[in-house]
Amino acid sequence: MTRGVLYIVACAAPPVRTTRELVAALPEWTICVILTPTAAEWVDVDALAEQTGFPVRSAPRGPDDPRKLPPADLVLVAPATFNTVNKWAAGISDNHALGVLNEAIGLRLPVLVGPWVKPTLAAHPAFGASLAKLESWGVTLLPNEHDNPVDAVNRWSVGGR
């Protein structure tokens, strides 16, 4: 029995290369991985698909393609880049990952976001405003670069619902 379906949405920042380790550290979840287009170039997509048992998505399915991923119970965005955070807060869905994140807001799904942003970009006024907007919509913010996403998911599943 699993705790539910966890979507891991990962962006093109260095920690994306450890997505397989993140998946392995959460064995009690059914996990689906969604990557930004650039992140998909940085990881072994086939190995991730084999590990999770689901296709790794970085592009939307075609209009006649069947849905292959189960609906999410929880969404973890880690690592979340400056670009993704700002576009998401603006409601932009110009890639599949952003579309999933915008739908998660509309579905009122619980979402945890772990930014991975260098200090100069974290200091940009748009970034703070975007994080504040996401938080006002119910997104749970994890400290930039410091909180372990596994710990955050486990905290949520124990008592954060």
C-alpha triplet 67, 74, 86: angle, nearest 5°: 90
Q: What is the pLDDT of residue 67?
A: 86
Domain-located, residue 67: no
76: helix, strand or coil: strand
Nearest to 34 by CA among 65, 68, 82: 68
Q: Is 64 among the domain residues?
A: no
Structural domain contains residue 103:
yes
Residue 100 belongs to some domain of the structure: yes
Total structural domains in the chain?
1
Which residues, at least 6 apart from 97, have a Cβ–Cβ distance to it below 8 Å? 9, 10, 11, 34, 35, 36, 39, 58, 84
- Domain membership of residue 65 (yes or no) is no
Whether the per-residue pLDDT at 62 is higher than 80: the answer is yes
pLDDT tens digit sequence for 80-96: 999 999 999 999 999 99
What residues make up the domain containing 51? 5-59+72-160
Q: What is the CATH number of the domain that holds 111?
A: 3.40.50.1950
In tens, the pLDDT along 7-27 reads 999 999 999 999 999 999 999
80: number of Cβ within 10 Å: 29
Query: Tell me, what DSSP letter sits at residue 57?
Result: B
Do the beta carbons of residue 4 and residue 73 sit within 8 Å? Answer: yes
* pLDDT the model gives residue 135: 97
66 within a domain of the structure (yes/no):
no
